[in-house]
C-alpha cells in the first residue's frame, strides 16, 4: 500500500512549523491548566523540537493559557516529557 502524504498538517504554536499530527504534541488549556489533550476543549500543538527548548515552550504555554505562572508550566512540561518517554 502506498504511503499517504495527504495527512492534514498542524502548526506548532511556538515555532509555527507545520507538520503532521504524529510529530506534534496535542495539548490543551482548561481554565489555565495545561495538560495533554483529553478529547474536549480548545487544543494546540507543540513540536518535539520546541518541547526540548524549555524557555521557548514555556512562553508559548503562557500565551496559550493566558497565564504567567512559569513554575507551574515548567512542572507540567516535565510530566509531559516523562509521559512521552514511557510510551
Ligand atoms: Zn515548534
pLDDT for 33-74, tens place per residue? Answer: 899 998 888 899 999 999 999 999 999 999 999 999 999 999
Better-scored residue on pLDDT, 46 or 3: 46
Q: How far is the CA of 1 from the centre of ligand 1 (A)?
A: 31
Better-scored residue on pLDDT, 31 or 50? 50
The pLDDT, as a whole number, for residue 42 is 87
Cα–Cα dist 4/86, whole Å:
28
**Centre of ligand 1 from the C-alpha of residue 48, in Å:** 7
Q: Give exposure, 12-38, as e/b (b: 16+ Cβ within 10 Å).
A: bbbeeeebeeeebbebbbeeeebeeee
More confident residue, 78 or 31: 78
Ligand 1 mean position to 12 CA, how many Å? 5
Task: List, in order of start, the domains of the chain with CATH numbers.
Answer: 9-86 (3.30.1230.10)
Amino acid at each position: 500500500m502506498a504511503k499517504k502524504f495527504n495527512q492534514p498538517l498542524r502548526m506548532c504554536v511556538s515555532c509555527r512549523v507545520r507538520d503532521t499530527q504524529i510529530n506534534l504534541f496535542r495539548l490543551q488549556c482548561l481554565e489555565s491548566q495545561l495538560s495533554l489533550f483529553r478529547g474536549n476543549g480548545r487544543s494546540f500543538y507543540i513540536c518535539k523540537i520546541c518541547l526540548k527548548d524549555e524557555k521557548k515552550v514555556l512562553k508559548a504555554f503562557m500565551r496559550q493559557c493566558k497565564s504567567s505562572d512559569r513554575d507551574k508550566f515548567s512542572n507540567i512540561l516535565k510530566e509531559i516529557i516523562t509521559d512521552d518517554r514511557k510510551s
